[in-house]
Chain A
Amino acid sequence: QLQLQESGPGLVRPSETLSLTCTVSGGSVSSSYYWGWIRQPPGKGLEWIANVYHTGSTSYNPSLKSRVTISIDTSKNQLSLRLSSAIAADTAVYYCARQGGDYARPPFDYWGQGTLVTVSS
């Protein structure tokens, strides 16, 4: 059974870089899927941040593109997210997820449990 687990600091100071890791078990980030990050501010809806294909090809939400970097590390079976110049509005639960299934333009079928990141001084 595929499992995803996010990890990283729960508190980030404004203007610093938010860095998160998602460890994948029960499967490989090298397999032919897209892997992504989605966030959810407290009490609000879901926002797609970025995704990365197993080849390393990336796609970003234009609203965050100038500050975001997504990558995969096949040796550690992980994907990572870096969000620079953090602001209070970046406070959210961050989820990693797989886009998978035998379907074109697939949905997010596996999700991590999420990790709350608070941006505050």
Chain B
Amino acid sequence: DIQMTQSPSSLSASVGDRVTITCRASQSISNYLSWYQQTPGKAPKLLIYGASNLQSGVPSRFSGSGSRTDFTLTITSLQPEDFATYYCQQSYTTPYTFGQGTKLEIK
């Protein structure tokens, strides 16, 4: 299985801040990497696919980059609704695997 490792596991930030979350794959996954946002009690929501493609309806303050094994999710100008848990996921091969999550909290 391909292991996905996110860092940090948790992060404190303030409204208006810029934050970056990283995701590392245990082997090359080309750009088959997605990012999801999950708030408590809700299903994950797709933010980014193909490492850098913004899903329709997602604000442009979210962006993704990277390829092969190293990827980043950047959120510029944090809004109150952005405080959530973020997961990366590889769709390069089955079994599809997710990172362990990064919890973004309000400072």
Q: Mark A61-96, 1 if CB is under 8 A from B, else 0.
A: 111000000000000000000000000000000010
Give the number of residues in A that approach B within 8 Å (Cβ atoms).
25
Docked pose: A48 CA to B44 CA in angstroms: 13
> Is there contact, CB below 8 Å, between B98 and A46?
yes
Which residues in chain B, 52-107, are within 8 Å of chain A measured between CB atoms?
A: 53, 55, 87, 89, 91-92, 94-101
**What is the CB-to-nearest-CB distance from A44 to chain B, in angstroms, rounded to a whole number?**
9
> Are A111 and B55 touching (Cβ within 8 A)?
no
Asked if B98 and A108 make an inter-chain contact with CB atoms under 8 angstroms apart, the answer reads: no
Per a CB cutoff under 8 Å, which of A45, A62, A112 touches B99?
A45
- Inter-chain contact A103/B53, CB cutoff 8 Å: yes
Binary CB contact string for chain A from 96 to 111 against chain B (1 if under 8 A, 0 otherwise): 0101010111111101
Q: Which A residues have a C-beta under 8 Å from some C-beta of B?
A: 45-48, 51, 59-63, 95, 97, 99, 101, 103-109, 111-114
